[in-house]
Structure 1
Amino acid sequence: MDDLNFGKRNKRGDWAPNQPAETAPLFTFPPQLAAILKWLPHYFLPWNLIFAVSALAYWAWIIPPVETMQTLSLGWISRLYAVNAIAVFLFYGAFELHLYVLKRQENRFKYNGKFPAEQKSNAFWFQSQNLDNILRTFLSGVMIWTAVEVGMLWAYANGYAPWLGFAENPWTLACVALVVPIIHEFHFFCIHRLIHTPFLYKWVHSVHHNSVNPSPWSSLSMHPVEHLLYFGTAFYHLILPSNPMIMLYQLHYAGFGAIPGHVGFDKVEIGKDRLVDSHAYAHYLHHKYFEVNYGDALIPLDKWFGTWHDGSPEGEAQMQERYRRRKEKLAARKARLEAEGAAE
């Protein structure tokens, strides 16, 4: 398939889509009903449906009985960690194998024309982005994911979280399930801005940003503090009228849902003539420029706070103008402090 029908490639081999990144039409005013109806299938297919089905599968076949979860024990906790680890290995590994090992679509639709395996760096353990990312995913990411999952299931089993039944509260739970992605977006934007503050960026978030050219295993390659903040999205269900299955969906949206934003390709080729959008461009631009697109564009929070970059020349100009204004402000502050020091 010719990716130049959908975008352009520069001299370095980096690909960019013809159309700039867009925010979802959910929060536009006045409401645009036609745009919402056109966009709505993308809210469910394919990614959100995959994460919801995986949560249902967990509840049906993996999660132990309520009586078991009332007591923390090594047996069911270790089993849950093993299942999470295997699921991550298979899901993340499938994208890694298809796109980065076998390179079945070569660099078609790939934002950064280079592959991480081609670039060694001292920023990573063993100078390997892939090995570093894999180790951080399993040694910290899956462990903290499981710890949050266990804690929430234990809270439900012991009556510390509001557990509504589907038979008695179908509409309430349907509404909560529908806003799971919105909860994730709000939470992700808030913690993302927090860990971009200088101290937390240096000691925590820089681990994730070492992967300037992200690949599937970069998705959960984070510092343990960031893992805890990231999977903390499940804690909203301690106060929401919810259900353990929806809480699992929230966790799976975070855990498995990190893949599309870091897959490194705009579209994944399925067979010879089918494409699946990753919707990763906005987050790729965050990895490229660091100080834009703190959210994933479901809620236009970056537009509201002036940090949106859609990949267009206009977006680039706006970003450079923000940098210029900040540089002038810092220079003025430095000059003022120096003047005050000289006066003393």
Structure 2
Amino acid sequence: MSAQNRKTTVWNHAPELPLQSMPYWHWPPRPWAVLRWLFQNFLQVSDRALFLAYSFAIAFWLMPFVPAEAALAWDWSALVLLRNLVAVFLVVGGLHIWFYGIDGQGNVMRFDARPITGRKNALFLFGYQTWDNMFYTLIYGVPIASGFEIAVRWAYANGWTMQVTFADNPVWFILLFPLLTLLQGLHFYLIHRLIHWPPLYRHVHSVHHRNVNVGPWSGLSMHPVEHLFYFSSLLIFLVLPAHPVHMMFLLHWQLLGAPTGHSGYEAVFAKNKARILIGGFFHQLHHRYYECNYGSPEFPLDKWFGTYHDGTEEMTAVIRDRKRRMHAK
């Protein structure tokens, strides 16, 4: 089905439904399907492939991990913050301008065609969704993410981590990239279920869920407590044997991947072709229906715990019935 006409009665556009689990979890195992999926997502033009390339550029060229970072100092710490701010402005701001500023592809490959900007709404800071989202992203999100990066850089420089190079163990070095997306999916599911606990939801996570229909700036629009939970995944490098490039990849998978995953579109579409795959429909379902898809497509915890929404209208009815029973208690 073409990008222009793949619609359901609920969504302007959707990927092929029902959503399928990642090939990692097929039984019996399908190794060729796994290899094909890895090639498509890590070695072709997709957001994660671009994050991977950017992480190599930083770790080996633009801002490598150096012994001088053993001493915390404002000069190199400020450069970390500045670099992350520039990356967010370029990626998130660029996507917002393309999708919602110049309307670069209209509703082509857009999940929910309802507007996210324009009408004033007292629910948001400053009255507008985009301004609210930018405030939480830039004032809290980027500084907190940068703080975790600075802390891990400091730990690396002081020799408190277990470093692995490609020459030491090339198989582990390569496999760790997809493994990190799996581990992040596990971490995200656990913290996400926690912040849906009513007291934390009311005081913390509700900030993010103001965005029922999402845009790129919505990805990191969170209460600062949620930012602390979200980026705490980077602490795994205190115990996991890895190279600094792996830490940079996980950072960008979250810092830039959350905005691309909340863009509201399946791909950047230009000249009659999907140019950059960015996905996000799995999580778009969570923003619409709340009590489903707490994790990520990488790790099937939602399937195992009965909170999986596959995008079909039949599953929407199941989710809504469960919500009614939850609120009736």
Q: What TM-score do the two structures reach when normalised by structure 2?
A: 0.92
Contact 2:164 2:241 in 1 (8 A): yes
Q: Tell me the residue number matched to 1:91.
A: 91
Gaps of 5+ in 1: 331-344
Residue 116 of structure 1 and its aligned partner are, at CA, apart by 1.3
Q: Tell me the residue number matched to 2:71.
A: 71
Q: Distance in 2 between matches of 1:65 and 1:281?
A: 35
Residue 33 of structure 1 and its aligned partner are, at CA, apart by 4.0
Q: Tell me the residue number matched to 2:107.
A: 107
The alignment yields a C-alpha RMSD, in angstroms, of 2.1
SS, match of residue 117 in structure 1: coil
Q: Tell me the residue number matched to 2:236.
A: 236
Q: Tell me the residue number matched to 2:307.
A: 307
Residue 64 of structure 1 and its aligned partner are, at CA, apart by 5.4
Aligned 1:87-166 pairs, distance under 5 A: 87-166=87-166
Q: Distance in 1 between matches of 2:281 and 2:172?
A: 34
Q: Distance in 1 between matches of 2:31 and 2:79?
A: 46
Query: Amino acid of the residue matched to residue 19 of structure 1?
Result: L
Q: Tell me the residue number matched to 1:39.
A: 37
Aligned 1:47-58 pairs, distance under 5 A: 47-58=47-58
2:19 maps to 1:21: yes
Q: Distance in 2 between matches of 1:163 and 1:31?
A: 31
Gaps of 5+ in 2: none
Q: Distance in 2 between matches of 1:185 and 1:137?
A: 21
Contact 2:264 2:284 in 1 (8 A): yes
- CA gap of 1:146–1:170, structure 2 versus 1, over 3 A, is same
Contact 1:8 1:17 in 2 (8 A): no
Contact 2:118 2:128 in 1 (8 A): no
Contact 2:164 2:243 in 1 (8 A): yes
Q: What TM-score do the two structures reach when normalised by structure 1?
A: 0.89
Aligned 1:245-256 pairs, distance under 5 A: 245-256=245-256
Query: Amino acid of the residue matched to residue 222 of structure 1?
Result: M
Q: Distance in 2 between matches of 1:242 and 1:78?
A: 25
Query: Amino acid of the residue matched to residue 290 of structure 1?
Result: Y
SS, match of residue 103 in structure 1: coil
Aligned 1:270-289 pairs, distance under 5 A: 270-289=270-289
- Give the aligned length: 327
Q: Distance in 2 between matches of 1:243 and 1:65?
A: 10
Q: Tell me the residue number matched to 2:178.
A: 178
Q: Which range moved further: 170-179 or 82-91?
A: 170-179
Residue 42 of structure 1 and its aligned partner are, at CA, apart by 3.4
Contact 1:21 1:281 in 2 (8 A): no
- CA gap of 1:40–1:126, structure 2 versus 1, over 3 A, is same
Deviations, residues 70-101 of structure 1 (Å, cap 9, x unaligned): 10011111111111101110011111111100
Q: Distance in 1 between matches of 2:170 and 2:35?
A: 23
SS, match of residue 179 in structure 1: helix
Residue 114 of structure 1 and its aligned partner are, at CA, apart by 1.9
Contact 1:214 1:264 in 2 (8 A): yes
- CA gap of 1:323–1:269, structure 2 versus 1, over 3 A, is same
Q: Tell me the residue number matched to 2:227.
A: 227
Contact 1:25 1:35 in 2 (8 A): yes
Query: Amino acid of the residue matched to residue 34 of structure 2?
Result: I
Residue 318 of structure 1 and its aligned partner are, at CA, apart by 2.0
Contact 1:270 1:276 in 2 (8 A): no
Residue 7 of structure 1 and its aligned partner are, at CA, apart by 2.1
Taking every aligned residue pair, what percent have the same amino acid on both sides? Answer: 37
SS, match of residue 212 in structure 2: coil
Deviations, residues 105-141 of structure 1 (Å, cap 9, x unaligned): 1122222212211332212111111011111111111
Q: Which range moved further: 162-171 or 217-226?
A: 162-171
Query: Amino acid of the residue matched to residue 185 of structure 2?
Result: E
- CA gap of 1:277–1:170, structure 2 versus 1, over 3 A, is closer
Contact 2:6 2:13 in 1 (8 A): no
Q: Which range moved further: 215-224 or 111-120?
A: 111-120
State the structure with bigger RCO (CA 8 A, min sep 6), 1 or 2: 2
SS, match of residue 268 in structure 2: strand
Contact 2:109 2:269 in 1 (8 A): no
Deviations, residues 220-278 of structure 1 (Å, cap 9, x unaligned): 11111111111111111111111211111111111111123200112320323335443
Contact 2:260 2:278 in 1 (8 A): yes
Q: Tell me the residue number matched to 1:337.
A: none
